[in-house]
Chain A
């Protein structure tokens, strides 16, 4: 089985712009979770989608949003980018019945 695929691998944006990141889960997995990783805060949970519905949400501002499509692929969007949004954004998929998550390699976002 192919693993979790995240695109793009690297991204450079400027403050005020918006960005969309993509995640393709493992085939058959219906749950997709998103995490932000920074040197200062570590890994922090953003949100989780299951069958196109957001089931869980972390403590991030409304500028961070996501969605899931009928084929389980997911996107996350960050609007009005700030310097502090520079981070590695990780996507993970799972069948949805446990917390055995399979992570992608992430998208490294740099905001200048």
Chain B
């Protein structure tokens, strides 16, 4: 699976949009980009995933560049409850549960 690179940390003001970047320059054609987050002392939570088209759900939007070498997760209106570690992962549909969680991005939402 392709390696992903994320900033170590970022701050965001409550109510503003949070834009979380991820680089995956070696991603292969059959690998999806998955985003998870982990709030302290809880298990990771699935956010969104996509292959090449932009995706949106009730939690976030995922913007994937045309060359698929990078993506951005957008939390449209950050709240204090969005403070968490966010993981960007590249995986195929037959990864069979094996996700390569890196160090992720620690996002702190401040009032």
Contacts and interface: CB of A to CB of B under 8 A. Distances in A.
Give the interface centre of B32, B91, B92, B96 by most chain A CB atoms within 10 Å: B96
B98 interface: yes
Contacts, number: 68
**On chain A, which size bracket covers the interface?**
20 to 34
B43 A99 contact: no
Interface string B60-103: 00000000000000000000000000000101110111111111
B93 A45 contact: no
Contact of B46 (A43, A90, A101): A101
A100 B46 CA distance: 6
Contacts of B93: 97-99
Question: Secondary structure at chain B's binding surface: helix, strand, loop or mixed?
Answer: loop
Give the interface centre of A43, A48, A104, A106 by most chain B CB atoms within 10 Å: A43
B42 A45 contact: no
A101 B38 CA distance: 13
Contacts of B44: 43, 90, 92, 101, 103
The 3 closest A-B pairs by CB, nearest first: A103-B43, A48-B97, A33-B97
